[in-house]
Amino acid sequence: MPLTLRSAVNSVVVLAALLALGACATPKPEGPAPVPPPPTAPTPPPARPLPPAQPPIARGPIPGSVEDFVVSAGDRIYFDFDQYSVRPDGRLVLDLQAAWLNRYPGVQVRIEGNCDERGTREYNLALGARRAESVRAYLVSRGVNASRITTISYGKERPIDSGTNEDAWAKNRNGHTTLVSGAR
Amino acid sequence: MRPGSLFAALILPFALALAVLSGSASPATAAVEVNINQGNVEPLPIAIPPFAGRDQRSQNVGAQLAQVISSNLQRSGFFRPLDPNSFIERNLDVSVQPKFEDWKVINAQALVNGSVTTEADGRLRVDFRIWDVYNGQQLQGLQFLSTPENWRRIAHKISDVVYKRLTGEEGYFDTRIVFVAESGPKTARVKRLAIMDQDGANPSYLTDGSYMVMTPRFSTTDQEITYMALRADSARVYLFNIETARQETIGDFPGVVFAPRFSPDGAKVAFSVDRAGNSDVYLMDLRSRQSTRLTNDPSIDTSPSFSPDGTRIAFNSDRGGSPQLYVMNADGSGARRISPPGSGRYTTPVWSPKGDFIAFTKQTGGQFHIGVMRPDGSDERILTTSYLDEGPTWAPNGRVLMFFRETEGGASRLWTVDISGRNAQLAPYPSAGSDPAWSPLLK
């Protein structure tokens, strides 16, 4: 069964995990609401014995898992209206995707091209296919074997944001990378 | 629509006998007529009393016939059926001339009356006459014979006769609509293939919703449709026979296969295939299963639609930088743009069954429109405007368009509009739907 991580809930969990690990998480302008920092141990007053050190907690995504892919690379890049060229912010994500995929060569992926609702159904199926191909070609140019990648267009049929404004449309114009097999 | 009705409402064979009623001959020209091509149409006041019957069952059918005919004619925008409570003459006998004075008093210009009889063999016989009230003349007298379960189709056929006699154009009431019934939230929409009569009666699902269906289209010669199915990992075009429920793919092309439409003779399907981000138009011969590539351009080429004579294909391409309408010969040669420059984004060209117009979807200034233009691109008329209007389909008489409209944050609904731009109204389907396709007149 193909594994996908789409829900905003998962993104928040992932971001919280990052913060808990002390990783460098750059807040995105359109990202989810700020997550309160994890509780830290109160600073002990001086001249008292230090409490025993916290044992290291093995937390965070399992390396090679879908969650790991989403956290360390990101599974979606975004496009401008009626465009299919990969933007600079998308290149950063795809570079990370390619590095991750090159680390886990047994993983097969499906690139899904998506469009906003400001176009007609058939045109958007064609546009989504172009976006999926842009992502595919980029990953291949970064060393991912073409035989590991399939593409599909969902046109405007699978929006992730049901809104009817530019923010929602911008989210719905995307290329989504789904790990279909081989992930842990 | 009940899920249990899958395949239940398939088309019944309509063994129909048609006879001309005896009586005064039709005059060559009728004084009572609707000119549906003039600028401002005043709907024709028409009286359609319940058809008479000797027994209760026949009377019930007769009342329902009159209702179905009235609502068909009313929805067309060219007729104003009068309230039966205002009728003075009651219990009309179809074999007797009506009292025209009684109908003039209530300003009826035309009168349609009829009778329902159950024949010895169980068939339903419906006799009806169309009268010109002011000239006191019969315009037409006909008889339909069919099985009782076909009573709605008899009503639609009578509606078609009345429409044609009084407007001069072919009717479109004995037809069906195949469409996509939608349910669920926008981010997890369920899309099922569905079919209904043009007046919303007899709706039924043809697919179970486990995968998305889109863009169904009728064959012009048959009770066959073609549509596209989108699954997580495939986009394929299917043929579906609604009489036998037989379904098959048109072939396992690599890539995304979409935008199917039949040729006018029903022998071929034009469609798009995307390979590596390049969509082109293909044509498949359904007998030989050989396909031909008609466009070969790095741009998006999709939404092919044949001219009714089969010699040309309108399609959508962004080869000029933005989506526009093009027309090419049916062999793929001679493509040229028809949509005007600098005027907006044009998609979904659909050639009228009469050949005189191409309907389309247009985007300008953040709004969507349904419009029509001549096949050479002249005489553009914008008929509708909303947040999202898309996907026109022609009634077989080339007068009425059905399309779907999505309001901001609202469900998608089926709408109709006259090619004059008048009479925009919700289609008689009470739930969410999209991608309508009008059948030809049923046989």
What pLDDT band is residue B220 in, cutting at 50, 70 and 90? confident
A123 contacts in B (CB within 8 Å)? 300, 302-303, 316, 318, 323, 347-348
In a domain, B236, yes or no: yes
B92-146 pLDDT, tens digit per residue, is 999 999 999 999 999 999 999 999 999 999 999 999 999 999 999 999 999 999 9
Question: From CA B190, how far away is CA B211, in angstroms rounded?
Answer: 8
Alpha helices in chain A (DSSP H): 8-20, 66-72, 88-103, 121-141, 166-172
Given a cut of 90, whether residue B7 has pLDDT beyond it is no
Q: For residue B223, what pLDDT is reported?
A: 84
Closest to A112 in 3D by CA, of A1, A6, A38: A6
Minimal CA separation from A72 to chain B, in Å: 25
In a domain, B22, yes or no: yes
In a domain, B443, yes or no: no
Q: For residue A28, what pLDDT is reported?
A: 40
Which of B148, B167, B186 terminates a domain? The answer is B167
Q: Which two structure tokens, joined as six digits, stand for A132?
A: 């999926």
Minimal CA separation from A121 to chain B, in Å: 8
Q: For residue A52, what pLDDT is reported?
A: 62
Question: From CA B404, how far away is CA B181, in angstroms rounded?
Answer: 11
Given a cut of 60, whether residue A22 has pLDDT beyond it is no
| Look-up of token digits 């097969």 | A108
B340-357 pLDDT, tens digit per residue, is 998 999 999 999 999 999
Closest to B401 in 3D by CA, of B198, B114, B226: B198
Closest to B274 in 3D by CA, of A86, A175, A152: A152
Q: For residue A18, what pLDDT is reported?
A: 37
CATH assignment at residue B89:
3.40.50.10070
Of B187, B276, B347, the CB nearest to A120: B347
In a domain, B415, yes or no: yes
* Residue B244 and residue B103 in one domain: no
What pLDDT band is residue B5 in, cutting at 50, 70 and 90? very low
* Residue B347 and residue B408 in one domain: yes
Of A121, A129, A180, the CB nearest to B214: A121
A153 contacts in B (CB within 8 Å)? 235, 256, 274
User: What 3 state SS string does B390-414 have?
Assistant: EEEEECCCCCEEEEEEECCCCCEEE
Q: Which two structure tokens, joined as six digits, stand for B170?
A: 């072919």
* Residue B268 and residue B298 in one domain: yes
Given a cut of 90, whether residue A19 has pLDDT beyond it is no
Name which residue leads in pLDDT, A55 or B309: B309
CB-CB contact of B389 with B369 (8 Å):
yes
* Residue B239 and residue B379 in one domain: yes
Of B256, B272, B316, the CB nearest to A152: B256
B14-to-B144, B185, B375, B399 alpha-carbon distances in Å: 11, 40, 36, 25
Of B255, B300, B406, the CB nearest to A123: B300
Per the structure, the complete domain to which residue B102 belongs is given by: 6-167
Q: For residue A26, what pLDDT is reported?
A: 39
CB-CB contact of B220 with B266 (8 Å):
yes
Q: Least CA distance to B404: which residue of chain A?
A: A120
CB-CB contact of A124 with A112 (8 Å):
no
Q: Least CA distance to B304: which residue of chain A?
A: A122
Tell me which amino acid residue B341 is.
P
Minimal CA separation from A110 to chain B, in Å: 8
* Residue B144 and residue B204 in one domain: no
Question: From CA B274, how far away is CA A84, in angstroms rounded?
Answer: 14
Interface test with B, best of A3, A9, A80, A123 (most B CBs within 10 A): A123
* Residue B347 and residue B407 in one domain: yes
Share of chain B above pLDDT 70, in %: 91
- Rounded to the nearest 10 degrees, the angle between the axes of helix B56-76 and helix B151-167 is 40
What pLDDT band is residue A95 in, cutting at 50, 70 and 90? very high
Q: Least CA distance to A130: which residue of chain B?
A: B277
A132 contacts in B (CB within 8 Å)? 277
Question: What is the pLDDT averaged over residues B279-293?
Answer: 96
Minimal CA separation from B382 to chain A, in Å: 17
* Residue B128 and residue B202 in one domain: no
Interchain contact, A154 vs B279, CB within 8 Å: no
Q: For residue A60, what pLDDT is reported?
A: 85
Given a cut of 90, whether residue A25 has pLDDT beyond it is no
Given a cut of 80, whether residue B37 has pLDDT beyond it is no
DSSP assignment string, B127-140: EEEEEETTTTEEEE
Chain A to chain B, count of Cβ pairs less than 8 Å apart? 100
Interchain contact, B187 vs A150, CB within 8 Å: no
CB-CB contact of B284 with B290 (8 Å):
yes
Of A117, A123, A152, the CB nearest to B235: A152
What mean pLDDT value characterizes chain B? 92
Interchain contact, A157 vs B214, CB within 8 Å: yes
Interchain contact, A164 vs B361, CB within 8 Å: no
Residue B350, classed as helix, strand or coil, is strand
Interchain contact, B276 vs A133, CB within 8 Å: yes
* Residue B116 and residue B197 in one domain: no
In a domain, B1, yes or no: no
Q: For residue A36, what pLDDT is reported?
A: 45
Tell me which amino acid residue B299 is.
S
CATH assignment at residue B255:
2.120.10.30
Minimal CA separation from B387 to chain A, in Å: 9
B235 contacts in A (CB within 8 Å)? 125, 152-153
Q: For residue A41, what pLDDT is reported?
A: 44
Q: Least CA distance to A134: which residue of chain B?
A: B277
Given a cut of 90, whether residue A10 has pLDDT beyond it is no
Q: For residue B325, what pLDDT is reported?
A: 98
Q: For residue A11, what pLDDT is reported?
A: 39
Of A110, A122, A162, the CB nearest to B303: A122
Q: For residue A37, what pLDDT is reported?
A: 46
Instruction: Return the H-helix or E-strand segment holding A58.
Output: none
Task: Decide: pTM greater than 0.95.
Answer: no
Interchain contact, B185 vs A162, CB within 8 Å: yes
* Residue B153 and residue B208 in one domain: no
A84 contacts in B (CB within 8 Å)? 277
Which of B126, B145, B167 terminates a domain? The answer is B167
CB-CB contact of A109 with A177 (8 Å):
yes
Residue B59, classed as helix, strand or coil, is helix
Q: For residue A59, what pLDDT is reported?
A: 73
Determine whether A42 is exposed, middle or buried from the number of CB atoms within 10 Å of its CB (0-12, 13-18, 19+): exposed
Minimal CA separation from B303 to chain A, in Å: 7
Question: From CA B3, how far away is CA B203, in angstroms rounded?
Answer: 10
Instruction: Return the H-helix or E-strand segment holding B105.
Output: helix B100-105
Determine whether B268 is exposed, middle or buried from the number of CB atoms within 10 Å of its CB (0-12, 13-18, 19+): buried
Q: Beta strand pairing status for B110-118 and B52-53? A: parallel
Edge-first strand order for the sheet with A76-78 is A76-78, A174-181, A108-114, A149-155
Tell me which amino acid residue B174 is.
D
Q: Which of A34-43, B147-156, B194-203, B217-226 has the lowest mean pLDDT?
A: A34-43
Those residues of chain A whose CB sits closer than 8 Å to some CB in chain B are 2, 82, 84, 110, 117-123, 125-127, 129-130, 132-134, 150, 152-155, 157-162, 164, 180
Given a cut of 70, whether residue A1 has pLDDT beyond it is no
Of B348, B366, B387, the CB nearest to A122: B348
Which of B132, B167, B202 terminates a domain? The answer is B167
Question: What is the pLDDT averaged over residues B255-274?
Answer: 97
Q: For residue A17, what pLDDT is reported?
A: 39
Q: Go through chain A and tell me how many residues it has.
A: 184
Query: 10 Å Cβ neighbour count for A62?
Result: 11
Residue B2, classed as helix, strand or coil, is coil
* Residue B82 and residue B138 in one domain: yes
Instruction: Return the H-helix or E-strand segment holding B346.
Output: strand B345-351
Minimal CA separation from A50 to chain B, in Å: 52
Question: From CA B201, how far away is CA B198, in angstroms rounded?
Answer: 7
CB-CB contact of B129 with B162 (8 Å):
no
Name which residue leads in pLDDT, A54 or A153: A153
Q: Residue A103: phi, psi to the nearest 5?
A: -75, -30
Interchain contact, B303 vs A123, CB within 8 Å: yes
> Which residues, in sequence order, are CB contacts of B279 under 8 Å at separation 6+?
A125, A126, A129, B256, B272, B273, B300, B301, B302
Question: From CA B328, how far away is CA B306, in angstroms rounded?
Answer: 10
* Residue B350 and residue B291 in one domain: yes
Question: From CA A86, how far away is CA B61, in angstroms rounded?
Answer: 64
> Cα angle vertex A103, ends A99, A107, to 5°?
100
B46-64 pLDDT, tens digit per residue, is 999 999 999 999 999 999 9
Q: For residue B84, what pLDDT is reported?
A: 96
Question: From CA B342, how far away is CA B322, in angstroms rounded?
Answer: 10
What pLDDT band is residue B87 in, cutting at 50, 70 and 90? very high
Q: For residue B31, what pLDDT is reported?
A: 59
* Residue B315 and residue B227 in one domain: yes
Question: From CA B199, how far away is CA B219, in angstroms rounded?
Answer: 20
Split into its structural domains, chain B has a count of 2
